[in-house]
Amino acid sequence: MQEKEALMHCNPTRRTFLKGTAATAALAAVGTCSVAAWRAEQAEAAATGAAKIQGASLCNGCSSKCGLIATALDGRLWTVEGMKEHPYSKGTLCGRGHGAAQWAYSDGRLTQPMKRAADGSFVPISWDDALSEIGAKVQEIIAEAGPEALAIIQDPRPSGKYYSKRFMNALGSPNVYTHAAACNLSKESGIQEATGAQNFSVDFPNTKMVVFIGRSYGDGIRPSSVKSLAGAAEGGARVVIVDPRLNNTGVFATDWVPIRPGADIAFLLGIANVLVTRDLYDHAFVEQSAVGFPEFAAQVTEYTPEWAEGICDVPADTIVEIAESLAAAAPACAIEPSWRAAFGCAYQNSFETARAVCAVNALLGCWGQKGGALITSSPKAGDVDPVKFPEVPKPAAKRLGDAEYPLALSGTGTNLAVLNGCADGAIQGVFFYNSNAVQGYAQPAKWREALSQAKLVVTIDVQMSETALASDYVLPECTVLERLELPEFIGGKKHYVALRTPVIERIHPETRPCDEIFAGLAEACGVGEYFDFTVEELAEAQLASVGTSIEEVREAGIVELADPGFAFGTPTFKTPTEKFQFASAKVAEAGLNPVIGYVPRLVEPAEGEFSLIGGKQGIHSHTMTLNLEALNAISREYQLERLWMAASDAADLGIVDGDTVELSSSECSGQVAVKVTERLKPGVLFLPTHYGGTSPYLTRAQGFGLNMMDFVPLHLEPGVGSTMSQEVAVKVRKVEG
């Protein structure tokens, strides 16, 4: 596949057609084929001059935003391929990427603005009416309760994260939140308290040993991560998977360490105990580059491997062996940082677990080292013309939730503050962009109840999600391959910028890209002066600020920026102490133990109860992809919605593979089929977190499987305000007949 050549023809507004036999030859050149069913359809087009367009974009299947090349024939998307030069896709796309690329044609799409009628049903409304009605309500809320009563929740996308924040701030509200409280908030906040960075990466090409805590590259997929791990495994690295479930990354693993859910922190502290008490830690690092080590060392003596075994159910010998192996491999080894998985937002101790991960890496002295844990930088756009793109004044008020949850990342906040704010009247107007909060962020019933209290709820999405159903107005966005977005800046050892460019014409003429929607909303709300530019103009300005242009990024797909000069070696920690923090003053201020230490999980399953863990499957992203034809078909064909149960538990309960069970927690109960497996720790149930759709507009997702969040009580993790998505105990009973 010749991307370079391909990208010559990527702009539909200036499209270059390859006609007749040239199109056929081009198909042959990209190494593809077609069966009669498809070819017959194309034959006529080919005879009359088939038009082939290729364009660069960024996948919207998940938050990774991998680079892709889309090929359209006669204006209809045909294939997508991973962009070779993009650091995340490296030439390939996962199944979800291929499936999500077809979103434009999904029968579940929103095709026009909708308004909730008095009887609760949704009726079409014109853009003009929708925007002016929303504008009037927003003005009303501001007049009555001030702009702080408005909030927006969004799952960041290149344009969306810019426009949603700008819109909210222009209205005078600081209440901008991401989905993070139901994703990686605890983990990123914890890493930030310890290291000053929100994330780090493992230097796979050089690593000798890596320990995964709950995370599975084979399930929450980014192609480059899988490639890196495959390479490390092939190179002989020891790969330890600590997870109650033998996940799909198992093929690369040398060890599977089944662990009690929510007890990862005990395992990590047990390792830390071994490293400290047996003097296997990196003295130079802890003395020169860290603060709080003496307190940590004193505290960690309690956390013996035997103590840890009692909590996490990993044999003390295993803990000792892994600790010693890590020490032997140090500094070319690391505990992997994870993402959502086991401590992104799962338990009362998730923030602390993330800090414990960092602590072990600090003891190993692997920060910044070859084969260790790397902290890299990210680029961003430079300054743009302040006249054309006027700066929005910073809202005076503090964001709702920040006082109560001071450890939450400033860039994300905790969106559950909005849920609580709606319930107690502090929030009266809520906007959602690319976010299905109702279905995935906390208990749907609680969200629905809270949003029903608000005066105005507006959702911007491509489909009638559960959140859209809980809204007063639903504004339809066009899909990724139909729109241009702002540049996406990509950090790492090298810096890049990439762009979503439209490859196909808008399928539904009444849908709009996010920039137009926010500009329209701003205009209607009386703050249009901050949006007096097109997305193209801003993209051009941002790209110019880093020395490139839309044209160049379009042609190349992705452009490498100035070399940030990454070098191995102990990094500068951007913490208040400018050192690695075994103890943090900010954590103390939040009323928690400043020194990295043990915090138990909140809900312990009683006798006869199970722990319920969730997790991703490679073909789905949260709840948003469940209705997509190509991906839903896989879930159904392979019965991926099933609840996993350990074979020994199933035998005890008289359950066989395929049986239907009733799963119940303090919050709800529901029925689902069981997958009986040897790949799960007894006492634990695994429920994939994509299922149980309830929107009647999304017919393939509706009623298919169970939604884990229905079962989890609403409660927030102290300090960070994460949703504690796995703090639940459940019972299970076979359904007869």
Residues that bind another protein (CB under 8 A): 1, 24-25, 27-28, 31-41, 78-82, 91-99, 101-102, 217-219, 221, 223, 226-227, 230, 246, 248-252, 256, 258, 618-619, 629-634, 636-638, 646-648, 677-682
Q: Which is nearer to another protein, 588 or 651 (CB)?
A: 651
Nearer to another protein, 38 or 328 (CB): 38
Residue closer to another protein, measured from CB, 1 or 729: 1
Q: Which one, of 118, 143, 115, lies nearest residue 525 by Cα?
A: 143
Q: Nearest distance from residue 89's CB to another protein, in Å?
A: 9
Q: How far is the CB of 324 from another protein (least distance, A)?
A: 21
Query: How many CA atoms lie less than 13 Å away from 329 in the CB half-sphere?
Result: 26
Supply the minimum distance, in Å, between the C-beta of residue 313 and another protein.
11
Q: How far is CA 592 from CA 361, 565, 588, in A?
A: 22, 37, 5
Comparing C-alpha atoms, which of 342, 62, 400, 334 is closest to residue 195? Answer: 334
Question: What's the rounded Cα separation, in Å, for the pair 455 and 457?
Answer: 7
Copy the structure tokens of residue 250.
């198992």
Which C-beta is closer to another protein: that of 426 or that of 630?
A: 630
Query: Concatenated DSSP letters for 166-227?
Result: HHHHHHT---EEEGGGGTTHHHHHHHHHHHSSS--EE-GGG-SEEEEES--TTTS--HHHHH
Q: For the chain, give the number of residues.
A: 737
Estimate the crossing angle of helix 185-195 against helix 350-364, to 10 degrees.
40
Select 62 or 475, whichever has its Cβ closest to another protein. Answer: 62
558-560 vs 610-615, strand pairing mode: unpaired
Q: How far is the CB of 333 from another protein (least distance, A)?
A: 22
Is the CB of residue 123 less than 8 Å from the CB of residue 486? no
- Residue whose C-alpha is closest to residue 281's, from 265, 296, 267, 266: 296
Q: How many Cα atoms occupy the beta-carbon half-sphere of 380 within 13 Å?
A: 4
Minimum CB separation of residue 472 from another protein in Å reads 33
Q: How far is the CB of 223 from another protein (least distance, A)?
A: 4
To another protein, the closest distance from the beta carbon of 632 in angstroms equals 7
How far apart are CB 401 and another protein at their closest, in Å?
36
Nearest to 326 by CA among 368, 286, 280: 280
CB of 499 to another protein, least distance (A): 22
Considering the complex, what minimum distance in angstroms separates the CB of residue 302 from another protein? 28
* Nearest CB to another protein, comparing residues 231 and 393: 231
Is the Cβ of residue 237 or residue 514 nearer to another protein in the bound state? 237
Question: In this complex, which beta carbon is closest to another protein, that of residue 49 or of residue 382?
Answer: 49
Residue 221 CB, nearest distance to another protein (Å)? 6
Tokens of 453: 């209290």
How does DSSP classify residue 390?
P
Of 79 and 465, the one with the shorter C-beta distance to another protein is 79
Compute the distance between CA of residue 413 and CA of residue 402 in angstroms, rounded to an integer: 7
Amino acid residing at 150 = L
| Nearer CB in complex with another protein: 24/199 | 24
Q: Smallest distance, Å, CB 41 to another protein?
A: 7
Burial class of residue 120 (count of CB atoms within 10 Å of its CB; 0-12, 13-18, 19+): exposed
For residues 670 and 680, what is the distance between their CA atoms, to the nearest angstrom?
Answer: 21
Nearer to another protein, 315 or 406 (CB): 315
Determine phi and psi for 338, rounding to 5 degrees. Answer: 70, -175
Q: Considering the complex, state which of residue 82 and residue 597 has its C-beta at the smaller distance from another protein.
A: 82
Q: Provide the CB-side half-sphere exposure for 428 (13 A, CA).
A: 17
CA separation for the pair 414, 404 (Å, rounded): 10
Quote the tokens at residue 264. Answer: 């990862």
| Number of neighbours of residue 117 by Cβ within 10 angstroms | 10
CA distance 437 to 344: 16
User: What does the DSSP 8-state code read for residue 646?
Assistant: E
Q: How far is the CB of 622 from another protein (least distance, A)?
A: 17
Per DSSP, the three-state class of 629 is helix
Structure tokens at 504: 């196909």
Measured from the CB atom, the residue of 625 and 725 that comes closer to another protein is: 625
- Nearest residue to 587 (alpha-carbon basis) of 413, 408, 725, 414: 408
Query: CB of 273 within 8 A of CB of 304?
Result: yes
- Nearest approach in angstroms of CB 735 to another protein is 21
Least Cβ distance, residue 557 to another protein (angstroms): 16
At 429 the three-state DSSP class reads: strand
Q: Which is nearer to another protein, 250 or 390 (CB)?
A: 250
For 140, counting Cβ atoms within 10 Å of its Cβ (0-12 exposed, 13-18 middle, 19+ buried), the class is: middle
Q: Which is nearer to another protein, 73 or 182 (CB)?
A: 73
CA angle 237, 238, 242 (to 5 degrees): 140
Q: How far is CA 250 from CA 214, 244, 471, 612, 726, in A?
A: 12, 12, 41, 20, 22
- Rounded to whole angstroms, the Cα distance separating 91 from 82 reads 4
Cβ proximity to another protein: between 314 and 550 the closer is 314
CB of 211 to another protein, least distance (A): 17
Closest CA to 51 of 94, 93, 31, 22: 22
Nearer to another protein, 97 or 476 (CB): 97
388 or 636: CB nearest another protein: 636
Cα 74 to its chain centre, rounded Å, is 34
- Work out how close the CB of 648 gets to another protein at its nearest, in angstroms, rounded to a whole number: 7
Quote the least distance from Cβ 724 to another protein, whole Å: 27
> Edge to edge, what strands does the sheet with 52-58 contain?
52-58, 67-73, 76-82
